[in-house]
Amino acid sequence: MAALLEIEKLVVNATGGADYPAPVIQGVSLQLEAGEVLALIGESGSGKTTLALSALGYAKPGLEFRAGEVRLNGDDILAMAPDEKRSLRGQRVAYLAQSAAAAFNPALRIGAQVTEASVLHGQLSQAEADRRAADLYRALGLPDPDHLGRRYPHQVSGGQLQRLMAAMALCTRPDLLVLDEPTTALDVTTQIEVLKAFKDVIRQEGAAALYVTHDLSVVAQIADRIAVLYAGEIKEYGSVDEILHRPKHRYTRQLIDAVRPPPDTALGPLEAKDAEQDVPALEVTNLTAGYGRKQASGQLLKVLRDVHIRVERGHTLGVIGESGCGKSTLARVISGLLPAMQGEVRLKDEPLEPSLRQRERRQLQEIQFVFQMADNALNPHQRVDQLLGRPLEFYFGLSGDAKKQRIAELLHMVELPPEFSGRYPEELSGGQKQRINLARALAASPEILLCDEVISALDTIIGASIIRLLKRLRQQTGVAFVFISHDLSAVASFADDIAVLYAGQVVEQGPARRVLAPPYHPYTRLLIASVPELDSSWLERTLALRETRASIDQAVEITDRGCPFYRRCPVAIAGTCDRETPPSHTLDQGYTIVCHRSEAELRRGSFS
C-alpha cells in the first residue's frame, strides 16, 4: 500500500533566492502512513513549519516551492490548480495553528467557523455540520457542547479555544492533520487536557497527523515516529523509542540534553545563604494591586492580594504560576508601572513611591524590566548601539568613546560580538534579540532585574543558553533577579527562592529546594505533576493523579472568600476551604504554605 503522504526531494526557497543562498527546505523526503502520527521536531528556523505546510500545498508569503513533489494518496499537491488546492485544504488536509486565539476570527461565532469548511466544500448541510461539531466538542471534553457554537472566541478560555480548533480541523473528517505547535502557548496544566483531547480524538478519527513542535516531551506523548529537522534537512528519523533512547545524530542528543529535567525532590541544595541578616535588595509587603475596572460588586478587580516577597542581594526569586495569576502584575507594581492599591515596595530598605513618575532617577535605575517579547520591546527603527546607548546617556550621561566602550562591554556581557552594535533588531535571531533586551536592562547597572517570561518565546536550546547567561550575569554583577515564568523547570534551574502564585495570592514560598520537595501545597503539586517528561507513559500516569483530575477544566477564580484554589483542589474541605481564608503554616524559617490542611497532613501527603 502506498503511503498517505509522500514528500520527495522537496526544496523550498525564499522568493528572489539570491539573498538567501541556503534553501529553507533542502531536498527533504519523508512518508506518512494512514493513521500515523509523525512529529517534526527542530528549533525555530529549522523549516519544520514550512515542511508541514507543504502538505497543504501552501508556502508562507516570501517562500516558494522550488523543486520536488508532495503527494497525498498519489495526487501531486504542488502541481494542483488553485481550485484543486482549495478543495484539498480543509477537506482532505486540515491545519491547526499554534495560537488558537489568533487563528479564530474574533468577529465570527465559533460554530460558524468550525462548520464553515465542511459546509462550503459541500460535505454536509449546515444542520448536519452543527451536529457533527457538537459531537466533536463532546469528544474533546468541552463544556456545554450543544450551545458552545453560539459563542464568540473571546468568550471561551485559551485551552478550550485550542481544542475548538481541533474540532474545526476535524469537522470535515480529513485524512491528514497538520498541527503546528498546538500546545506551546498553553500553561502546563492546560497543556495536559489539550494533549489528552488531541491524542484521543486523533485515534478515534483515525486521521494521520504531522505534529510540529520543539518540545520533545510533548512528542513523546503523542507521536509514533519522529523526524528531527535542522537547517532544512532531516537529520534523523525513527520511532519515538529509537530517537529518545538511542539517538544517533549529535543534534538530536543536543535537543534531548536541552530538555530541562523535571524538578524533582532530589534537587541538590543551591548555594548556601549568607545574606539572611543583610538588608534585602527588594522587599514587598502587604501588596494589593489591581486594575481600574469595577466589578459587579462595585469593588476594583484585585489581581494581587496581600503579597509579601523578599529578594536577597544577588539572589533569584522565582515567581511561578499559570497565566492570569498576577505574575506580570507583580513585576509591573515593583517597577512602578502600575501603582499598588496597598502595601509597600522597599528597595534596599528604602520605601519607594508607588508610581514610576514620583520615583527618583536613581531608584528607576536600580530596578530594570526585561520584557517577554524582545520583538516588541526593541524599537525596530533603532540600531543596537542606539538601544543600548539611551540608558547610558539617561542614567550616566555617557557619550562619545566612553559610551561606545560601555556598549562593547555590554555586548560582551551578553556574549555577542561588538559588530552587533551596528545592527537593527530585525537582523537578529530570537535568542540574540533577547540578549540585546537583557543588555539594555543591564546598561542601567541595576540592583534588581525583573525578568518577565524571558525565555517563554524561545525554543529549548536557546532558552537553556539564556538561563546559563543569566546565571553568569548574576555571579559577575551581583544583580538580583525576580524571575517570572509559567515554566517550572526553568524556574527550578535558576531560582534560589520560589514564590508560587495562584489567583493573585502566594500559596507557597521558600527556598527552591524546599518548595520543589514535599510537603507541597496542593497547587504546587499539580504544577510539578503537569511538567511533561521524556517518557511516553507520562501523560497517562499524570492523568491518573487526583491532582490533575480535580483541576481539569476548572477555571481560575479570583475570590474574596476562602481559598482561591478551592474548586480545583483534590483535598479541599467543603465548608471550610470555600468559606474561610486559609492559614499560613511556617514549616521552616522563611518557608510557608498557605492551606487549611494541617502541617502534619501536608508533611505526610495523605489527607483524611
Partner 1 sequence: MLIRAVLHRIATGLVTLVVVSVLIFLGTSVLPGDVASIILGQMATPESLAALRSTLGLDQPAYLRYFMWLGDLLSGDLGISKAGSGAGTGGTPISEMIAPRLANTVHLAGAVALIAVPLSLGLGLAAAARAGTRLDRSITLTTLGLVSVPEFLVATALVLVVAVYLGWLPATAYVSGTETGTALLKALALPTLTLVVVASSQIIRMTRASVLNVMSSPYIEMAVLKGLPRRRIVLRHALPNAVGPIVNVIALNLAYLVSGVVIVETIFAYPGLAKLMVDAVQTRDLPLVQACAMIFCSAYIVLVFIADLASILSNPRLRYPR
Within 276-381, strands assigned E span 282-294, 300-311, 316-320, 342-347, 350-351, 367-370
Q: Considering beta carbons, is residue 104 or 251 the nearer one to partner 1?
A: 104
Give the cell for residue 100. 488558537
Q: What one-letter code names the amino acid at 601?
A: E
Give the chain's length: 608
Nearest alpha carbon to residue 482 among 280, 343, 279, 342:
280
CA-based radius of gyration for the chain: 26
> For partner 1, which residue of 10, 47, 63, 116 counts as binding (CB under 8 A)?
116
- Determine, following the binding rule CB under 8 A, whether residue 56 of this chain makes contact with partner 1: yes
Sites for partner 1 among residues 152-171 (CB under 8 A): 152, 154-155, 168
How many residues bind to partner 1 according to rule CB under 8 A? 30
Query: Stretches 103-111, 189-197, 284-292, 365-373: which one binds partner 1 (CB under 8 A)?
Result: 103-111
CA distance 592 to 497: 12
- Determine, following the binding rule CB under 8 A, whether residue 428 of this chain makes contact with partner 1: no
Query: Stretches 2-10, 93-101, 275-283, 345-353: which one binds partner 1 (CB under 8 A)?
Result: 93-101
Q: Considering beta carbons, is residue 110 or 367 the nearer one to partner 1?
A: 110
Give the cell for residue 548. 490533575
- Determine, following the binding rule CB under 8 A, whether residue 407 of this chain makes contact with partner 1: no
> For partner 1, which residue of 65, 95, 395, 523 counts as binding (CB under 8 A)?
95
Within 61-111, strands assigned E span 63-72, 75-76, 93-96
Q: Considering beta carbons, is residue 296 or 574 the nearer one to partner 1?
A: 296
List, in sequence order, every residue forming a beta bridge with 237; answer none if it has no partner: 227
Stated as kind and residue range, the H or E segment containing 442 is helix 430-442
- Determine, following the binding rule CB under 8 A, whether residue 489 of this chain makes contact with partner 1: no
Query: Stretches 94-102, 337-345, 534-542, 571-579: which one binds partner 1 (CB under 8 A)?
Result: 94-102
CA distance 322 to 371: 17
Query: Stretches 51-59, 344-352, 364-372, 418-426: which one binds partner 1 (CB under 8 A)?
Result: 51-59
- Determine, following the binding rule CB under 8 A, whether residue 89 of this chain makes contact with partner 1: yes
- Determine, following the binding rule CB under 8 A, whether residue 86 of this chain makes contact with partner 1: yes
Torsion, CA 561, CA 567, CA 569, CA 572, rounded to 10: 60
- Determine, following the binding rule CB under 8 A, whether residue 97 of this chain makes contact with partner 1: yes
Give the cell for residue 569. 483542589
Residue window 118-137: x/- pattern of binding to partner 1, with contact defined by CB under 8 A: --xx----------------
Query: Stretches 1-9, 13-21, 104-112, 489-497: which one binds partner 1 (CB under 8 A)?
Result: 104-112
462 Rama class: left (phi>0) / alpha (psi -120 to 50) / beta: alpha
- Determine, following the binding rule CB under 8 A, whether residue 453 of this chain makes contact with partner 1: no
Q: Considering beta carbons, is residue 104 or 565 the nearer one to partner 1?
A: 104
How far does CA 143 lie from the centroid of its chain?
A: 24
In sign, the C-alpha dihedral spanning 245, 250, 256, 261 is positive
Residue window 165-204: x/- pattern of binding to partner 1, with contact defined by CB under 8 A: ---x------------------------------------
Query: Stretches 101-109, 201-209, 279-287, 396-404: which one binds partner 1 (CB under 8 A)?
Result: 101-109
Q: How many Cα atoms are found within 13 Å in the side-chain-facing hemisphere of 224?
A: 14
What does DSSP say about strands 316-320 and 480-485: parallel, antiparallel, or unpaired? parallel
Binding residues for partner 1, rule: CB under 8 A, are: 53, 56, 58, 85-91, 94-95, 97, 99, 102-108, 116-117, 120-121, 151-152, 154-155, 168
